[in-house]
Amino acid sequence: MSTTKQLTDDLEYLGGLLRKSERGASPFIIYALWAALVLVGFSMVDFAPHRVGLFWLIAGPLGGVASAILGHRYGIRIGQLSRQEGLRHGWHWSGLMLAILLAVPLGLTGAIAWPVLSRVFLLIIALAYFLAGVHLERPLKWVGIVMLAGYVGLFFIPAYGWTLLGILVSLSLLVSGLVERRRGGAPSR
């Protein structure tokens, strides 16, 4: 075998190995955690609209920290720790939280009515999920698309639209997590 051929083979082998070593999607428990939070948080828009802000103010950051801990534990369990990957996720989701926080004054000052602002939040979150699906972990792309479809659907559903959307997004998160687990991308915990 010529040196060039051997070098090319070695590089192809290394490339394949790096692809194989990608950690894939997050563990199912993180999907389940956010499915539960979304179900409660979205339904509250219909049933307890005045407490939605407080709920997400607490549940959002706590869910983020819990996800980081669960992701780290997953890394320990599979034997692969990458701070860089953790940071990528951290920056992405922190960016989402910051964008939402920065939009809150629009509601507080009365520039935008809260029911309208809720839909703007939904668009921001849908975009964040879609982009996470494109750049971080593929299954989230579909969750983002469900949210975008739900945003459109809210214009046509007269009552309990947010509750219905919460159920749909929760289901899409659970299904995405389960499909990924079956594919072997991530174990259950």
Partner 1 sequence: MARRADNPNSPIVAGLEGMDRILEHRTRLAICVLLSRNDAMNFSRLKDLLDETDGSLGAHLLKLERQGFVSVRKEFRDRKPVTWYSLSKRGKEALESHLASLARLIRQASGGRS
Measured CA to CA, the distance from residue 111 to residue 95 in angstroms comes to 23
Per CB under 8 A, contacts with partner 1 among 22-81 are 76, 78-81
- Indicate the angle between helix axes 139-153 and 114-135, nearest 10 degrees: 160
C-alpha separations of 41 from 131, 159, 183 in Å: 21, 16, 29
The count of chain residues that interact with partner 1, using the rule CB under 8 A, is 20
Binding mask 79-98 for partner 1 (x = CB under 8 A): xxxxxx--------------
Contacts with 157 (C-beta within 8 Å, 6 or more apart), sequence order: 164
Could you say which of 12, 13, 58, 69 contacts partner 1 (CB under 8 A)?
13
- Closest distance to partner 1 from the beta carbon of 7 (Å): 6
Could you say which of 1, 17, 111, 159 contacts partner 1 (CB under 8 A)?
17
- The answer to whether 188 contacts partner 1 (rule: CB under 8 A) is no
Q: Which residue has the tokens 């290394």?
A: 14
- The answer to whether 14 contacts partner 1 (rule: CB under 8 A) is yes
Measured CA to CA, the distance from residue 90 to residue 146 in angstroms comes to 23
Could you say which of 18, 111, 152, 159 contacts partner 1 (CB under 8 A)?
18
Contact between residue 43 and residue 76 where contact means Cβ atoms under 8 Å apart: no
Contacts with 74 (C-beta within 8 Å, 6 or more apart), sequence order: 26, 27, 186, 187, 189
Residue 51 burial (CB count, 10 A) = 12
- Closest distance to partner 1 from the beta carbon of 117 (Å): 40
Nearer to partner 1, 6 or 94 (CB): 6
Stretch that binds partner 1, among 15-23, 126-134, 148-156, 158-166 (CB under 8 A): 15-23
- The answer to whether 184 contacts partner 1 (rule: CB under 8 A) is no
Q: Which residues bind partner 1 (CB under 8 A)?
A: 3-4, 7-8, 10-11, 13-14, 17-18, 20-21, 76, 78-84
